[in-house]
A and B are shown apart, each in its own frame.
Chain A
């Protein structure tokens, strides 16, 4: 097999910082054969993106060498050949879209390569078909949802027909169905002989790869099979990773899976090979759903519709006839495919949009009232946007957090309010208040954004995709913090593509599909209907699939168990009882 990349003692420091401690990458060496399928993992800020950018000569090593197809990336003359051979999909999809019309953007790459018009059209059609955007080809790129934009970006690279594709968290913004599409396409491309290197924070995706590279603070600390990686707890901890749910369960109860040695390679038949439970449990039926007590509603939405750019030829109906209710003190989730109107709906809740049609009531506020006190509403219903770090407008963490309370309460006790909010999210006041926002890690930025909203002491917290793009550790911490806030009495409304988040953080879920609300149900019920989920672009989490497989074999897993931890606990209890009865 041909060697595609040779990375030889690569170190990198950003220009104009020749100090040792500014090294982003430290002495990295590895090589990649043509046709490999590699996952690049590591915590936020560990240097994954920097490393990826060396692979297509966007960055040049400070010391060491990168050879692509035997061409040294320092060799300026051949740099363009490297870029034609190695395609790159960036983290923020909208940054790499050049043209205002989708199909023209996809043609950008092949046009640069001076291909013939007929060839370009063919390649554009093909790439559009892959990412499922054929019917959107004439739409304007800036009117797309984040997930659609990611697909355009991928198509733009595919159209160049590179030999290697590097995807920098290309699935972070997609709904489960979109993610599955892209992953399946990645695998298909790999089968055709294209080398695929992808950066991801989803541990389930790492399982797909033949090889995993783990970066930790700029050093390559692991290079090997994903299975080996997931058997090494110390390594996972150092790299801020976690085990995929199925692997974790397997390692807890290997005896439950007769005939399976390697949960990674044999993951497709893992759930089918679960051993049946030897003891009959009679109390299974008792544990079916108890009707939840219904609290008075906190948010009431009736028949809400919203049209973007109403009254122009570009009018675009975003949500229509949404009716939903959020109960007091019950964390509420919002799921739906990308572009289903989740963000638009959320922005109605704090008065950024006023109802064009229908009624909205949030706590004591009636959004249809002409004399609505918008400022109090926004204080009452705090909003944390999707990708909040791209909305920061102050330089220092302290100032960023102080912005809200200063507008609302004035300068009195400002310091205490900022400190209180920072304590709440676990950022130390003295250490962080004078830090520059842009130097924070991904998890810290997310916490800063949350603290900035919390500093206004809202009663209701609206979170739009709160964990997208966070590494597993940061995500876990963030979710823990949310449940802590919930316990403090702050009501949550969360939209997410990550079904694990939804399973862990909320109790009731509203499903949106193409701008309409399909239904509102308890979270464990939503996963019980896979056909409905997949119809709306969702997928039940692996933990839930595992619980279902266990139940099929007679294991007493209650329907309420939807997180991997509770499934492990219940299985443990069942095994103990099994042992007791056999004695």
Chain B
């Protein structure tokens, strides 16, 4: 892997058009269905429930024809943080159970705490997989148009949903842009002798090479945001309080079935 391919490392936030059944589903069904699952996994307190969630995420990835390995790659970057949080939780939580696993000096490690920490890590992994699945199979405009229709009742209450949705769209557009800008600036600095792609791989030298990247990245992003706003203006954004869509979605039977299935799974995750 090339160290300049920032984009390659971020598996989350990329739409992968595989034309699977899941991709062809009505976006509203996908958003609500996967949203329900996310909600259930977040608030479920049972281990079995979260395992069901994990199974659901993997089945979803298979159905969307996404290579599991590729999806799992997205788990690697946040893993150190999760482990750190888990460690802190294990060591600093007041003793919740009687069973002491072992003790290091004054610190006692309780079995119950280890289990809750493992559960937390698992929960986050399932959440990341589900979120990745969402971005893999819902294109940004499906997300936009889907949300627009889901939120349209709010629009009638004079809540500015259009702007909210545009914020999401621009954010999605900026993710690959940020990665690319970082790549460009890193390449420019590397070409002029900075320590990119050379053998130094110590933590301090890596932090050192990231610092000079940040300020130019901010500057280009701000400049970019300005021109993008201009370009939106030029293409008559905000012309009318509402926008139409290139796509017309028909809510079909299979979308209904999908929603029902996810609803049942979500209830299972939440209650079991």
Contacts and interface: CB of A to CB of B under 8 A. Distances in A.
Interface of A: 53, 56, 58, 80, 83-84, 87-88, 90, 92, 94-101, 103-104, 107-117, 120-121, 124, 138, 140, 142, 156-157, 160, 308-314, 347, 350-354, 374-375, 378-379, 382-383, 385, 388, 390-393, 403-408, 452-453, 456
A58 B230 contact: yes
B62 interface: no
A101 B139 contact: yes
B239 interface: yes
> Which of A98, A107, A117, A308 has the most C-beta atoms of chain B within 10 angstroms of its own C-beta?
A98
22 contacts: A53-B230, A80-B238, A80-B239, A83-B234, A83-B236, A92-B227, A96-B228, A98-B231, A98-B235, A101-B139, A104-B139, A107-B246, A112-B239, A114-B239, A117-B248, A140-B15, A156-B235, A310-B1, A350-B191, A378-B190, A385-B184, A403-B193
B154 interface: no
A449 to B, nearest CB: 9
Contacts of B232: 98
Contacts of A352: 4, 187, 190-191, 197
Given A58-B234, A390-B184, A120 B246 contact: yes
Contacts of B185: 391, 393
B237 A112 contact: yes
B62 to A, nearest CB: 14
A80 B246 contact: no
B244 interface: yes
A111 B242 CA distance: 9
Q: Size band of the B side of the interface? A: 35 or more
B193 A379 contact: yes
A98 B193 contact: no
B99 interface: no
A378 B232 CA distance: 40
B244 A114 contact: yes
B170 interface: yes
A311 B230 CA distance: 37
B246 A121 contact: yes
Nearest to A93: B231
A104 B246 contact: yes
Contacts of B190: 352, 378
B247 interface: yes
Nearest to B217: A393
Contact of A113 (B14, B141, B236): B236
B245 interface: yes
Contacts, number: 190
A377 to B, nearest CB: 10
Nearest to B232: A98
B192 A313 contact: no
B104 to A, nearest CB: 41
Contacts of B8: 309, 312
A101 B15 contact: yes
> Which of B4, B7, B18, B172 has the most C-beta atoms of chain A within 10 angstroms of its own C-beta?
B7
B224 interface: yes
B187 A56 contact: no
Contacts of A388: 188
A530 B245 CA distance: 45
A108 B224 CA distance: 18
B236 A58 contact: no
Contacts of A379: 193
A118 to B, nearest CB: 8
Contacts of B248: 117
Interface in B206-225: 212, 215-216, 220, 224
A374 B184 contact: no
> Which of B11, B197, B199, B234 has the most C-beta atoms of chain A within 10 angstroms of its own C-beta?
B234
A100 B172 contact: yes
Nearest to A310: B1
A101 B177 CA distance: 14
A390 B220 contact: yes
A97 B70 CA distance: 27
Given A117-B247, A120-B246, A404-B193, A101 B141 contact: yes
Contacts of A378: 190-193
